[in-house]
Amino acid sequence: MLKRLFNLIPNRATVKRQVIQREHHNISRKNISSAAIRIMKVLHEAGFEAYLVGGGVRDLLLNGHPKDFDIATEATPEEVKGLFRGARIIGRRFRIVHVRIGREVIEVTTFRASHTEANHAKEAQQSDHGMLLRDNVYGSLETDALRRDFTINALYYTTQGFEIHDFAEGTKDIKRRLIRMIGDPATRYQEDPVRMLRAVRFAAKLGFKIDAKTAKPIPGLAHLLRNISEARLFEEVLKLLMAGSATATFQLLQDYGLLEHLFPATASSLSSGDPLAAELIHQAMINTDKRIRSNKRVTPAFIYAALLWPPLCQELDKIKSQKHNQKVPDTVLQQQAAQTVIRQQLPHTSIPKRFQIPMREIWDLQLRLPNRHGKRASGTIEHARFRAAYDFVLLREQAGEDLNGLGDWWTRYQDANEKGRLDLVEALEPSSGDKKPKRRRRRRKPNAQQNTANNSSPGNQEQ
């Protein structure tokens, strides 16, 4: 049953505002996107307060490059929409406006308030677990600051006086390099369990420590992630693992017991003590971070293929050992195992079809890549997923799996000219992973002669 949310954040009277004047901080308008500046200007001119907030301010103070710029304003979503042609109101649980200026999309959020000020269930809803199902109670700058997650994310920069407004000692925590929750951490995690993932994400990305009081409730509340939609968790996983700090993030997810609620099968493969599993995932995270650092493409399909590979291998071993499967080809069994592993993952994080299909292709190709005789290698290299599958072979070898030099062979094959490729195939030992293809002898049909004579008939053309 749903109920209204009561007093969860400190009283407004307790809020202290610290204003940091322009000569005491390093934020310069030059480093802020022109779209964000423009939006604030339009809002100011229309008589509304508007501030840059969140990651934009935090990362500028840290001399980093903000991923995006978020704006908080007293204007309601409808009022914002009325001011910009390229504006769209999105979200139900948390209504925001996306304002498009040129190629940029800026999130504009109306100041929020505590739910005690809610008049209608339409604006504020909470589940039995204390989770906010709707968070659309509007308020002032002060109340907005206290509804944000961490102190370092609750800093507001204004282009009107070029000053920073700090209501939660966020600037002090930036100096102390600390992730600290605003308000009572357990209550705030119950309101929105995704904040546990955000704590870990910022700690890993910024190299900050999680404050002891903020960290303490996480292991005990990690199970609340099960109440979050699979789609939202999929998006969060991408933010966790595709932002350049996957290695540190993954470690923290394990340390805080969060992994087992995001990827239960992976967590259980890891806790079973399989060294290959741990190494494969560790290497996958390192490689992902390296690729991002060198501006190379990373795809969720590859990351998911790696995360679910140990459970896939376990499932495959299990069904292979079943008596009725003894004569079933590996390709068929692996398809079955893949289906089981994906089915078991989907209640936790969704995997959109556009990633599920290439992920399965990467897995399927693991069985095809050892088959290189005859024309097989030249066919496999043309596969749309060849490159990812080859990288996956390298990853398995990096993790310590002995694939009989398979990765190296494919590296040389890719670099070779036509003659070199033929030589590489010729040089393969029969035992190098596959057998020479059998010559298929066509069985002559007794009436073959007759068929040839008739091969201009419409029926034959179709064959």
Compute the least distance from the CB of residue 207 to Mg ion, in Å: 18
- In the bound state with ligand ATP, the residue whose beta carbon lies nearer, of 148 and 368, is 148
Residue 195 interacts with which of ligand ATP, Mg ion, none, CB < 5 to 8 Å by class: ligand ATP
Residue 291 interacts with which of ligand ATP, Mg ion, none, CB < 5 to 8 Å by class: none
- Which of these is catalytic: 70, 135, 289, 391? 70
- In the bound state with ligand ATP, the residue whose beta carbon lies nearer, of 246 and 399, is 246
- In the bound state with ligand ATP, the residue whose beta carbon lies nearer, of 247 and 366, is 247
Query: Regarding beta strands 155-157 and 209-210, do their DSSP bridges make them parallel or antiparallel, or are they unpaired?
Result: unpaired
Check residue 180 for interaction with ligand ATP (CB under 6 A).
no
| Cβ neighbours around 72 below 10 Å, total | 23
Catalytic (active site) residue 184: no
- In the bound state with ligand ATP, the residue whose beta carbon lies nearer, of 67 and 354, is 67
Compute the least distance from the CB of residue 154 to ligand ATP, in Å: 6
Residues of span 61-90 touching ligand ATP by CB under 6 A:
67-68, 70
- In the bound state with Mg ion, the residue whose beta carbon lies nearer, of 52 and 388, is 52
Stretch that binds ligand ATP, among 29-37, 189-197, 284-292, 314-322 (CB under 6 A): 189-197
Task: Return d(Cα 183, Cα 149) in angstroms, integer.
Answer: 9
Judged by CB under 5 A, the residue of 42, 49, 68, 254 near Mg ion is 68
Compute the least distance from the CB of residue 55 to ligand ATP, in Å: 2
- In the bound state with ligand ATP, the residue whose beta carbon lies nearer, of 54 and 130, is 54
Residues of span 1-60 touching Mg ion by CB under 5 A:
54-55
- Which of these is catalytic: 149, 192, 289, 391? 149
In sequence order, the 6+-apart residues with CB closer than 8 A to the CB of 68 are: 55, 56, 106, 107
Residues of span 135-164 touching ligand ATP by CB under 6 A:
148-149, 153-154
Compute the least distance from the CB of residue 162 to ligand ATP, in Å: 20
Check residue 123 for interaction with ligand ATP (CB under 6 A).
no
Compute the least distance from the CB of residue 436 to Mg ion, in Å: 57
Catalytic (active site) residue 70: yes
Check residue 104 for interaction with Mg ion (CB under 5 A).
no
Q: How many Cα atoms occupy the beta-carbon half-sphere of 97 within 13 Å?
A: 26
Compute the least distance from the CB of residue 88 to Mg ion, in Å: 18
| Cα end-to-end span (Å), the chain | 62
Residues that bind Mg ion (CB under 5 A): 54-55, 68, 70
Given the rule CB under 6 A, which residues bind ligand ATP? 54-55, 67-68, 70, 148-149, 153-154, 192, 194-195
Residues designated catalytic: 68, 70, 149
